[in-house]
Amino acid sequence: MRANDQNLKKSQARYQQCTFCIMDTSDPLITFNEDGRCNHCLAVDRWKAQGWNPSGDSNKLDRLLETVKSDGKGRDYDVVLGLSGGVDSSYIAYLCKQWDLRTLIVHVDTGWNSELAVKNIENLISYGGFDLDTLVVDWDEMRDLQLAFFRAGVPNQDIPQDHAISAGFLRHASRHNVKWTFIGTNYACEGILPTSWGYDNTDVTHILDIHRRFGTLRLKKFPLLSNTERFFRYRMIWRLKKASPLNLLAYNKLEAIRELEKQAGWRYYGGKHYESRFTKFFQGWYLPNRWGYDKRLAHLASLVASGQLSRQEALHEFATGVTLEYTAEDRTYMANKLAISEPEFDNLMQTQCHEHFEYRTTSQRKKKAIAILNAIANKMGL
């Protein structure tokens, strides 16, 4: 399959690459200073100055753990953790065991778990002696929404899966009267990710508009959760607090993988977020071939900006690594999983590309209002 004309135009645009990390003009919104450094790695520098603690030399983590254990008194659990089986969430699960936190694991099954992901989750549950609560998303509705997004031709095809995971996790977490949630989001491995390559997976207006245009089923069971509901129900009423503990310690991805393999029998997938068969296809083939966006670039640039790789090491890994080949086996698997014929799937992969803004989205005024409310809640310690 061939990339569309839009990608050809992008490839003909003036090429420039950051002199510090390896991000380049495949991000159409990238900017560079007079030294050739890009806005992305400069932002990482600001985060380091504003509280991110990559050296792990402060007592912020100790204070967080003390608060979590104190707030957990009289409750069944100290913390609830969403576990996908990926590196970041798996390492937090491993640390929760080391920190002696009474931890509930919530896993949202969207139907795309690889066999290795299932095994890794089983091994971590066994290692930590954790309780596990699994939400299985209705497959017919999941499939219908994903087909709708393919028909819409937008770049971020992971929105249905990501939304189901975040919304499903919040619903399950709130059932257990737990005060704290830990999330795997971190600057060390995810400090760089161009907004131009995707779109907000929490925008219910956007999701429903695409499904209205291209879906065939009613979404009766799919876990939809607006940003307004996230704020008022889960933050203000349930007072559910979240923390990113990986930002409070010297988190190194390669060291985390080695520790997980040694202590918990965990195994790596060969790529970030490849625990999901869908995400592996989406990031490894769809984005590079349909849109010219290669997320490996951002993932490696993040490791450079956080000091885990040198620029030369990142360039070498990017050059010697490959995006996925679209094999006959992949084609058959995706078509069968989505319950369509292989020619139908081929046609979906050639659908005209459209930007997310060509469909309805939540108004900027409403987004700004929610952002202000969240900022106020942060200052109040809510």
pLDDT in tens, 107-131: 999 999 999 999 999 999 999 999 9
Judged against a pLDDT cut of 80, whether residue 371 lies above it is answered with no
State the total domains in the chain.
1
Q: Look at residue 1 and tell me if it is in a domain.
A: no
pLDDT tens-digit readout, 283-334? 989 999 999 999 999 999 999 999 999 999 999 999 887 666 667 788 899 9
Instruction: Give the max Cα distance, the chain.
Output: 62
> Are the CB atoms for 309 and 300 separated by under 8 Å?
yes
Structural contact between residues 86 and 272, judged by C-beta atoms closer than 8 angstroms: yes
Q: Is 140 helix (H, G, I), strand (E, B) or coil?
A: helix
Confidence of residue 2 (pLDDT cuts 50, 70, 90): very low
pLDDT of residue 328: 79
- Residues 182, 242: contact at Cβ < 8 Å? yes
28 found inside a domain: no
User: pLDDT over 70 for what percent of the chain?
Assistant: 90
pLDDT band at residue 370 under the 50/70/90 scheme: low
Tokens representing residue 374 in the block:
């969240």
Q: What tokens appear for 151 in the block?
A: 């028909």
Give the model's pLDDT for residue 160.
Answer: 97
Does residue 38 sit within a domain? no
pLDDT for 241 beyond 50 = yes
Cα angle for residues 339, 342, 346 (degrees, 5° grid): 115
Give the model's pLDDT for residue 49: 73
- 139 pLDDT more than 50: yes
Lowest-pLDDT range of 43-57, 70-84, 160-174: 43-57
> Mean pLDDT over residues 192-204, rounded?
93
Q: What is the arithmetic mean of pLDDT over 245-249?
A: 92
Predicted pLDDT of residue 232: 79
> Residue 234 has what pLDDT?
77
The reply to whether 18 falls in a domain is no
Q: How many CB atoms lie within 10 A of CB 318?
A: 16
Q: No. of H helices and E strands in the chain?
A: 17, 5
102 falls within a domain: yes
Instruction: State residue 366's pLDDT score.
Output: 67
Confidence at residue 79, expressed as pLDDT on a 0 to 100 scale: 97
**What domain range is 137 assigned to?**
54-286+325-380
Does pLDDT of 365 surpass 80? no
Confirm whether 298 is domain-assigned: no
Q: Tell me the CB-side half-sphere exposure of residue 194, using CA atoms within 13 A.
A: 24
Q: Measuring CA to CA, how many Å separate 370 from each of 94, 227, 235, 362? A: 33, 7, 12, 11
Average pLDDT over residues 8-14: 50
Domain assignment of residue 87, yes or no: yes
User: Which pLDDT belongs to residue 268?
Assistant: 93
Q: What is the pLDDT of residue 276?
A: 93
The pLDDT of residue 316 is: 93
Confidence band for 56, pLDDT divided at 50, 70 and 90: low
What is the rounded distance in angstroms from the CA atom of residue 157 to the CA atom of residue 133?
26
Q: Are strands 180-182 and 241-243 parallel, antiparallel or unpaired?
A: parallel
157-182: pLDDT as tens digits: 999 999 999 999 998 888 888 999 99
Q: Is residue 302 part of a domain?
A: no
* CATH code of the domain in which 75 resides: 3.40.50.620
